Amino acid sequence: MQTQTTYNINLELKYKHLELIDVNSIVDENKEKWFNQTLTQVNNSLVRLGILEGEFHWHKHDNDDEFFFVIEGTLFIDLKDRIIELNPNQGVTIPKGIMHKPRALQKAVVLMVETVDIKPTGD
């Protein structure tokens, strides 16, 4: 039986404009399996860091595209008809309205770009 992944999603901005963003320090300090930290805001978009191991649930964003870019590890994004595999330095944009389920078999470090209005857990 599969166990439910616990998500730690931090929506507050960690860094203000002109502050140095140190992804390695966040990764080194993190001990959770599914951690998401909003790093900064760029105009009407948020840049988030995900440290992921396990599965997220199936969800979609009715009004927002979502961009994933892998820094470390491998991220799989399950879609209805296929699986997208992202390795380091690869990214993909999931269009609004598309059901998807991100998952990582082992720890993956991922940057995500989303609008400020997106609900990370889906609509």
Question: Is the confidence at residue 31, as pLDDT, over 70?
Answer: yes
- Per the domain annotation, does 121 fall within a domain? no
| pTM score | 0.91
- Per the domain annotation, does 1 fall within a domain? no
- Per the domain annotation, does 82 fall within a domain? yes
Question: Is the confidence at residue 23, as pLDDT, over 80?
Answer: yes
pLDDT of 79-107, one tens digit each? 999 999 999 999 999 999 999 999 999 99
pLDDT of 46-80, one tens digit each? 999 999 999 989 999 999 999 999 999 999 999 99
Question: Is the confidence at residue 1, as pLDDT, over 50?
Answer: no
- Per the domain annotation, does 94 fall within a domain? yes
Please tell me the predicted confidence (pLDDT) of residue 82: 97
- Per the domain annotation, does 96 fall within a domain? yes
| Domain total of the chain | 1
Please tell me the predicted confidence (pLDDT) of residue 4: 54
Q: State the DSSP string of the chain.
A: -PPPPPPEEE-S-S--TTSPP-HHHHHHH---SEEEEEEEEETTEEEEEEEEEEEPPPB--SS--EEEEEEES-EEEEESS-EEEE-TT-EEEEPTT--EEEEEEEEEEEEEEEETT--TT--
The mean-pLDDT minimum among 42-46, 113-117, 119-123 falls in 119-123
Question: Is the confidence at residue 5, as pLDDT, over 50?
Answer: yes
Check: CB of residue 95 under 8 Å from CB of residue 65: yes
CATH number, domain with residue 66: 2.60.120.10
- Per the domain annotation, does 95 fall within a domain? yes
Structural domain span for residue 47? 8-13+23-115
- Per the domain annotation, does 69 fall within a domain? yes
Locate tokens 């330095």: which residue? Answer: 89
- Per the domain annotation, does 2 fall within a domain? no
CA 75 – CA 88 distance, rounded (Å): 9
Please tell me the predicted confidence (pLDDT) of residue 3: 52
